[in-house]
Amino acid sequence: MNIAIRKFQEEDIHYKVKWINDENNNKYLHYDLPLREDKTLLWFKTLEGRNDRVDYTITFDGEPAGLIGLLNIDSKNKKAEYYICLGQEKFKGRGIASIATDLLIKIGYKEFGLQKIYLYTEVENTQAQKLFEKIGFEKEGLLKNDVIYNAKKIDRYVYGLNVGSYIF
């Protein structure tokens, strides 16, 4: 089982569109759906030269398996927001997300000097919460009515990981 992460590339756009548009993946995402390849290509072209985010494709035995990255990279405060999405059911429950997250945390520390990585997850997304807690993220608080999506108010938890105490 060879799991790696590599920089998100233009040829990954069709995977992103397919995965994000999949109802099994987008239940807890707040995207304007459906994604379209032409608009996603325009988004991809805006990434070049940015230093406030980094996006990767997770690979499993060389096959694209998901997306992972850091958003809102704040070099002054040495923190960033984490995200992950595995593409297909065949990749879920196999430890891929844990290994990919471990690789991303190491990159965040070594390349960006991050001391904290945080994330938001809907209160109902208990499956993701189990993954985050297994990795070492700690629930730091409840954000009531944090997001309004499709006219629905959504409560979310904020999780944090102190990168300095993460075992490398």
Q: What is the pLDDT of residue 166?
A: 78
pLDDT at 95: 95
Angle (nearest 5°) at CA 138 between 51 and 141: 90
Residue in the block written with tokens 């409560």: 155
pLDDT digits (tens), the chain, 168 positions: 899 999 999 999 999 999 999 998 998 988 889 999 999 999 999 999 999 999 999 999 999 999 999 999 999 999 999 999 999 989 999 999 999 999 999 999 999 999 999 999 999 999 999 999 999 999 999 999 999 998 999 999 999 999 988 776
Tell which CATH architecture fits domain 3-118.
3-Layer(aba) Sandwich (3.40)
Tell me which residue of 7, 5, 85 sits closest to 44, measured CA to CA: 7
Does the pTM surpass 0.75? The reply is yes
Instruction: Report, in angstroms and rounded to the nearest whole number, the Rg of the chain calculated over CA atoms.
Output: 16
Say which residues have a Cβ less than 8 Å from residue 113's Cβ, sequence separation at least 6. 75, 78
Q: How do beta strands 63-74 and 54-60 pair?
A: antiparallel
The residue type found at 82 is Y
- What is the residue whose two structure tokens read 């595995």? 86
What is the spatial distance between Cα 58 and Cα 33, in angstroms, rounded to a whole number? 22
Contact between 2 and 62 under an 8 Å Cβ cutoff? The reply is: yes
Instruction: Give the C-alpha separation, 33 to 168, whole Å.
Output: 38
pLDDT at position 168: 63
pLDDT value at residue 164: 85
